[in-house]
């Protein structure tokens, strides 16, 4: 979740909007970890219309599951 909070921070403070993300899971001694590479671009209201602003990232009803075709995550944001 810390990386989602960081992406939210970058949007709020630097107007950086994520345009592509590549997410990988890794196995470590402490369990599974997540690694991601993201690409971004400056937010442009004429190209990226926003209907609702996000207030923050939350753990409420967070769900992560492994599926036959990969991983699936559900994240709920405070609005």
Cα separations (Å) of 72 from 15, 23, 27, 29, 47?
27, 11, 17, 22, 28
Decide: pTM greater than 0.85: no
Q: How far is residue 53's CA from residue 45's CA, in Å, rounded to a whole number? A: 13
pLDDT of res. 67: 92
pLDDT band at 35 (very low <50, low <70, confident <90, very high): confident
């Amino acid at each position: 979740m810390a990386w989602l909070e960081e992406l939210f921070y970058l949007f709020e403070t630097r107007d950086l909007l994520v345009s592509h993300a590549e997410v990988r899971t890794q196995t470590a001694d402490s369990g599974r970890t997540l690694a991601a590479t993201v690409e971004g671009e400056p937010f442009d209201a004429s190209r990226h219309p926003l209907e609702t602003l996000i207030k923050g990232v939350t753990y409420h009803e967070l769900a992560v599951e492994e599926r036959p075709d990969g991983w699936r995550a559900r994240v709920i944001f405070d609005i």
